[in-house]
Structure 1
Amino acid sequence: MYEFKEETRALVDLVRRIVSDHQAPLETRLLRGETLTLADYEPGREAARKAGLWGLRLPSELGGAHLSLVDQLAVIEENYKCLTPIQFGGEVPHAMFHLQGEQKSRYLVPLLTDVKRYCFALTEPSGGADPARAVSMHAKRDRGNWVLNGSKIWISSFEDADFVVVFARTAKEKSASGISTFAVEKSNPGLIARPVPMLGGWTTHQLSFENCRVDDLAAIGAEGTGFKSAQRQLSTARFEVGAQALGIAQRCYEMMVAHAKQRIVFDGALSDKQSVQAMIVDSWIEIQQHRLMTYACAQKADRGNDARVEASMIKMTCTEMVGRVIDRAIQTHGAAGCTYENPLAHWYDHGRMSRIYEGPTEVHKYHVLARRLLT
């Protein structure tokens, strides 16, 4: 079993208290069928900020917590044991860490002070698994401005965003070096959004950019460096998705054990049945194995090593694992696990989607891992 260092355990305890005080009541409300708004999450967000959990990966000189990757993942794992996790603030795209002057005041400072929020738009209808070649959206210079044309799809968090960090091709060649980063205000008349309903009541958006004109300050970072910055953000996100899966799996396992102990069937506790015992033991083993692997890979990244392949492995294996654990938990609960009055049904939707976003399982397995092993 993986054991955290003392300071990491203290951090996890801190998150657990905030979740218990602010997020657990939201989970109860959600399970009663209430619709939660962004404002409902603000008390937990503010409590986290006061506790120093602001900008988890942000450098300290920018006011962030500057946690190691291990500590970030420990915080996320604990947070996602709740169906309504804390929405941490101070999240900033990697491409904006070093903005200066007017760009800094326009984009970076509002994000750091929680005045504005952003969403990340990389995937296109042509496919998101191979963005270096799939990105066809283009940006061209025109009279001191940039004009963007193209579309993005499956974009999350657009509803709450003030601007979109979007990636467009600024060179003719279909290569990673031809992609640049732009910040587009949500109010830009050249940006048209269409909501796309998803599993579990989620909503993503398709974004159409039609002669969308932005000034030169909206170009973030050097021209042609967009894909490199996106890759860095995606690698971190893949580790985070793995940690989310660990937290959800652990909560499902605990629910499965508690239900099996108290549920009486055929004159005995459900936990006495070998088939149920097998599901519980299998789940426990899988969670421990994946936790060990996740934090070992995070430690490698914290030592400054390239961990992009490990990020793919963690994302792929943890999301596959959580699907199996959720399924066993629902099977143990029977019909009670199939209602949206139970967190398990919500996590079932989440778990299924997690095998696709941030790169489908098959892409990580056959494009990233197999290519690395066979070259």
Structure 2
Amino acid sequence: MVDFSLTDEQREIRDWVRTFVERELIPLENEVLIRERRGEEPGLTAQERRELQQLAKKSDFWGVQTPVEYGGMGLDAVTTALIETELGRSFASFRFGGEADNILYHANEDQKRRYLLPTIAGERTSCFAITEPGAGSDAKAIRTSAVKDGPEWVVNGEKTFITGGNEADFALVFAVTDKELGADGGVTCFLVDRDHGWHSEPIDTMGERRPASIVLEDVRVPEENVLGEVGKGFPLAMQWIGKGRYLLPARALGSCERLLDMSIEYSKTRETFGAPIAERQAIQWMIADSQMEIEALRLLVLHAAWQVDQGRDSRHAQSIAKLFGGVKANEIVDRMMQIHGGMGYTRELPIERWYRDLRLLRIFEGTDEIQRRTIARDLLKGRVKVGATLG
């Protein structure tokens, strides 16, 4: 028999995060919307984010998945998915402090001292820079180059749609160091400080996120800033990309839960032709379909996370969860806007904001098409057998 119950610790953590979101994040939403309507930066301000992180740290909520030996909580994947779901209940995007890119743990001792530890402490900020104007889903097509010049590497190229690139003081830059070897042995990861000479420009989008375009022109990087080994950068990139893909639909799950709650309450009070719209079959079907899909998404997310905790190859399950989550989250937010009618279309309510934000889930960190390609190839090549995901 499969046991779907949570441990006492998991319930306590989930409930603590839900209370944090209700007390600290949701009350900020109206101000966030007002600032955005005035044309100011979307989302929480840097100061608000820091204050919230420090507030959570007082309750020992720091470094959710950071190993205990580095001062973090060292939580498992299922518990982390539960946390992301609760954080998704607010469109005021927030993450707890004390985290560092997973591939930074491959750093040598000197690099850990200069990059990893300060990042965990919140003293430094990084960004992952692999995507380029001509290399999005096809990460092997990167063109940024790095040429050895004495004790330094000279890096030239452009990165785009880099999350956190506007705020970061150093970047994990992937560059071609040997064209002949290609991605399998000719790509290297460099730790590149902003002070080394790269600059960034924000990219306006239809949602909250404002990724960066990063330009590197003859940026000189010391040899000691190679992360891992020369020519071994692509496996690091895939390790970064593959980590926590289940967390994206987990956060969307929380958004859908809140949206459905809002729509249920609205349908009980909004009347047409002398009765609440909750009594209309058309509304009831939208609510029922959304609940069905939310519960299906929850199981897909937790199953992918469970596989991670079991040490299994979870990439197939994560692709399924991300694909289903992206498609269904967009269908659900569309239904919830329909239930709210004209009010849902206005900026007086946060539904239109979620409508824009959730659309990104079908594009970034692997498009719907890439997920379908991955799922199909796994099946066609026999890497995964139909019906064998629990075996």
The residue that corresponds to 1:89 in the other structure is: 97
Give the C-alpha shift of residue 118 in structure 1.
0.8
SS in structure 2 of the partner of residue 159 of structure 1 = coil
Alignment-mate amino acid for residue 107 of structure 1: Y
Give the C-alpha shift of residue 179 in structure 1.
1.9
CA deviations 1:279-315 (Å, max 9, x no partner) are 0000000000110121012111101011112222111
1:372 has 2:372 as partner: no
1:137 has 2:139 as partner: no
CA–CA separation in structure 1 for the residues paired with 2:64 and 2:237? 18
Q: 1:348 to 1:3 in 2, by over 3 A?
A: farther
- The correspondence for 1:10, drawn from 9, 12, 20, is 12
The residue that corresponds to 1:158 in the other structure is: 165
Percent of matched pairs sharing the same residue: 33
1:126 has 2:134 as partner: yes
The residue that corresponds to 1:21 in the other structure is: 23
- The correspondence for 2:76, drawn from 53, 68, 75, is 68
The residue that corresponds to 2:279 in the other structure is: 272
CA deviations 1:168-202 (Å, max 9, x no partner) are 1222222233222111112332x132321111253
The residue that corresponds to 2:333 in the other structure is: 326
Alignment-mate amino acid for residue 82 of structure 2: A
Q: Does the aligned pair in 2 maintain the 1:163–1:183 contact within 8 Å?
A: yes
The residue that corresponds to 1:220 in the other structure is: 227
Q: Does the aligned pair in 2 maintain the 1:155–1:204 contact within 8 Å?
A: yes
CA–CA separation in structure 2 for the residues paired with 1:290 and 1:101? 41
Q: Does the aligned pair in 2 maintain the 1:249–1:326 contact within 8 Å?
A: yes
- The correspondence for 2:324, drawn from 286, 293, 317, is 317
Segments of structure 2 that go 5 or more residues without pairing to the other structure are: 382-391
Aligned pair count reads: 372
SS in structure 2 of the partner of residue 197 of structure 1 = coil
CA–CA separation in structure 2 for the residues paired with 1:281 and 1:3? 24
CA–CA separation in structure 2 for the residues paired with 1:215 and 1:336? 56
CA–CA separation in structure 2 for the residues paired with 1:91 and 1:200? 24
The residue that corresponds to 2:61 in the other structure is: 53
Greater mean alpha carbon deviation, residues 35-44 or residues 157-166:
35-44
Q: 1:334 to 1:33 in 2, by over 3 A?
A: farther
CA–CA separation in structure 1 for the residues paired with 2:291 and 2:5? 15
Give the C-alpha shift of residue 252 in structure 1.
0.8
- The correspondence for 2:124, drawn from 113, 116, 130, is 116
Q: 1:220 to 1:73 in 2, by over 3 A?
A: same
Alignment-mate amino acid for residue 209 of structure 1: L
Q: Does the aligned pair in 1 maintain the 2:106–2:227 contact within 8 Å?
A: no
Q: Does the aligned pair in 2 maintain the 1:90–1:111 contact within 8 Å?
A: yes
CA deviations 1:183-224 (Å, max 9, x no partner) are 1112332x1323211112532221121111111222111223
Q: Does the aligned pair in 2 maintain the 1:237–1:358 contact within 8 Å?
A: no
CA–CA separation in structure 2 for the residues paired with 1:351 and 1:153? 20
Q: For residues 223-372 of structure 1, what are the structure 2 equivalents within 5 Å?
A: 223-366=230-373, 368-372=374-378
CA–CA separation in structure 2 for the residues paired with 1:2 and 1:282? 22
TM-score by length of 1: 0.95
The residue that corresponds to 1:203 in the other structure is: 210
Greater mean alpha carbon deviation, residues 344-353 or residues 176-185:
176-185
SS in structure 2 of the partner of residue 104 of structure 1 = helix
Q: Does the aligned pair in 2 maintain the 1:70–1:295 contact within 8 Å?
A: yes
SS in structure 2 of the partner of residue 184 of structure 1 = strand
CA–CA separation in structure 1 for the residues paired with 2:185 and 2:65? 26
RMSD of equivalent CA atoms: 1.7
